[in-house]
Chains A and B, each alone.
Chain A
Amino acid sequence: MSRVMGLAQRWIVFAVAVVVWQLLTASAQNVYFPTPWQIAHHAWNLWFVTEDGGFGLTAAVTDDILPSLARVVGGWALAAAMGVVLGTALGRSRTGMQYVGPLFAFFRSLPSPALLPVFIVLIGLNDDMKIALIVFGCIWPILMNTVDGVRSVDTVKTDTARAFRASRVQWVAMVVMPAALPKIFAGLRLSLAIAVILMVVSEMVGDTVGIGANLVEAQSQFDFLTMWAWIMLLGIIGYVLNLAMLAVERRALRWQPTRSAVANARRTAKAGG
């Protein structure tokens, strides 16, 4: 019972908003603003109804959506690996950040979409350019949070590790990394959202495939139903990616008292209901 209540609580406002949206657009009959029902129906046909009229993945899914998703995940994962490794090294070094700090602060302040022309000139209109842009945009939050995180190791824990003669590997893997993990995850989640943004932006210029390209094309051809379908898809992608990230984070940080307290409360609530 409580589970149903929880679900209702989480989705009630969302559901009402969709209903209001439906009612407003249905009464307005504006060509620019189709109803959500029409958009959903159109999206279904666009992605899941093949040319022979049966159910399946259309070319829009295999040639546009999946490659776009691969760029998001690939670019973000690359940035994560680089950011965590580099951030750990810099954070643990006594002087590293003093040298590169100002440089990083400068790069971090540059709005990544503004660098798109630069990346096109440097790399060309291809997948590499898109991934490079995503990596560039994603790496800063991860890097900075990692630096911050690996510096947050408590002095008593440092002493403890030293007193028990922890090896270097043990020190990094069992003390520094776990201590930094909450901050690293905050950076990872932030940059996942950035990755989606940069994927769309990088595909909007000079390309015909990908979610961004399709979005721009639909708009230029006054195909507003298709345009809205892509926009809805982006929302869903962002939501699902964040949800997946949260699940991973919860699992990796389950040792944190506050997290487990929440989980336990849920469990007892469930058992009680």
Chain B
Amino acid sequence: MPTMLEVRELAHRYGTGPGAHVAVEDLTFTVHQDELACIVGPSGCGKSTLLRCIAGLIRPTEGEISLHGDVVRGVPDDLAVVFQDYSRSLFPWLSVRGNVEFALRTRVRGRTERRRRAQEALSWVGLEASASKYPWQLSGGMQQRVSIARALACQPALLLMDEPFASVDAQTRADLEDLLLRVRREHGSTVLLVTHDIDESVYLGDRVLVLSKSPASIVADLPVDLPAQRDQITTRSSPEFVKLRTEIARLLHDRAPAVGEPEPSSAAEKFLAAERAEKEQQSTRSGQ
């Protein structure tokens, strides 16, 4: 599969000098075409910074990002973002359809064509009947579906999703996850989804990239060997799912290096260090 997104030695610092906060450090990974890659990491680890760098909203301090071979400088043309906070990301003064058309304004010439594309994208998420409503007249889950439709309407080469289902209730969340899997299957999009929810990353992903605590770097890149057709009940109880989620949970747990130990530099070393820590912990536990 050809590479869609390539992130090389990405680092980002906020501020300069000794007071600088390093949000992301030495991040290298790729996302292939038609793949749904999930990035999972603890809260506040720099996931959003990474995503904002890829979206071209901020310039990384170091490293390079390329989207289908073109180095990202500024916001790329064929990329779309679904933000976590749908209530702030949707424009309350525009109707549902207006919100979707907003994204098409610079991409699609002609009013009727924009309208057609917007209506089509809304039908993918089952909201064609609510096109003329205002966002606040819809439930939270429906609002996030509008955000998804807005992003899909652009037919982006890469769809970025920043904790897209973190602000809805559990049932809506499950529905939205299945909706994402369905539209993705039907339209073959490449998706990079950031989440702090381990189960969600395994359930949705073809691949899960595990991030360390701040400054974020990749500690593991795990393929998800689950059938493409997933189901909230059977998939989540399958042994493969349980095995993966346990593995990721282990990776995320207790990642801070012990005092006096030298800071591991590369991702692989961090991974090994984590495993060592894990074993040590197990031995202390068995010693009790």
Contact = CB atoms under 8 A, between A and B. Distances in A.
B92 interface: yes
B106 A178 contact: no
B165 interface: no
A163 B91 contact: no
Interface in B45-79: 52, 55-57, 75, 77, 79
A165 B154 CA distance: 11
Contact of A157 (B89, B106, B150): B89
Given A164-B154, A166-B106, A255-B93, A159 B80 contact: no
A167 B85 CA distance: 23
A163 B57 contact: yes
A138 B119 CA distance: 44
A5 B75 CA distance: 57
A109 interface: no
A162 interface: yes
A154 interface: yes
A170 interface: yes
A174 interface: yes
A9 B92 CA distance: 33
Nearest to A253: B93
Contacts of A178: 91, 93-94
Contacts of B92: 255-257
B279 interface: no
Given A159-B83, A163-B57, A154 B88 contact: yes
A170 B106 contact: yes
A174 B102 contact: yes
B118 to A, nearest CB: 13
A256 B134 CA distance: 9
A167 B56 CA distance: 16
A163 B80 contact: yes
Contacts of A175: 91
B271 interface: no
B85 A174 contact: no
Nearest to B134: A255
Interface bracket on B? 20 to 34
B103 interface: yes
Contacts of B75: 162-163, 165
A257 B88 CA distance: 14
A162 B93 contact: no
Contact of B88 (A156, A167, A170, A255): A156
Interface bracket on A? 20 to 34
A152 interface: no
Contacts of A208: none
B98 to A, nearest CB: 9
Interface in A132-176: 154, 156-157, 159-160, 162-167, 170, 174-175
Contacts of A159: 52, 57, 81, 83, 89
Nearest to B153: A164
Contacts, number: 63
A178 to B, nearest CB: 4
B241 interface: no
B190 to A, nearest CB: 16
B124 interface: no
Contacts of A181: 93
A174 B106 CA distance: 13
Nearest to B98: A174
B105 interface: yes
B80 A174 contact: no
A244 B57 CA distance: 43
Given A156-B88, A157-B88, A255-B93, A167 B105 contact: yes
A256 B93 CA distance: 7
Contacts of A164: 80-81, 102-103, 106, 150, 154
B136 A257 contact: yes
A163 B136 contact: no
Given A174-B94, A178-B93, A160 B80 contact: no
Contacts of B81: 159-160, 163-164
B232 to A, nearest CB: 29
B83 A166 contact: no
20 contacts: A156-B83, A156-B89, A159-B81, A160-B89, A162-B57, A162-B75, A163-B81, A164-B103, A164-B106, A164-B154, A165-B106, A166-B106, A167-B105, A170-B102, A170-B106, A174-B102, A178-B94, A255-B94, A257-B136, A260-B134
Q: Shortest 4 CB-CB distances between A and B: which pairs?
A: A156-B88, A178-B93, A164-B103, A163-B81
Interface of B: 52, 55-57, 75, 77, 79-81, 83, 85, 88-89, 91-94, 102-103, 105-107, 134, 136, 150, 154
Given A170-B102, A170-B105, 18 more contacts: A156-B85, A159-B57, A159-B83, A159-B89, A162-B75, A163-B81, A164-B80, A164-B102, A164-B103, A164-B154, A165-B75, A166-B102, A166-B106, A167-B106, A178-B93, A179-B93, A255-B134, A260-B134
Interface of A: 154, 156-157, 159-160, 162-167, 170, 174-175, 178-179, 181, 255-257, 260
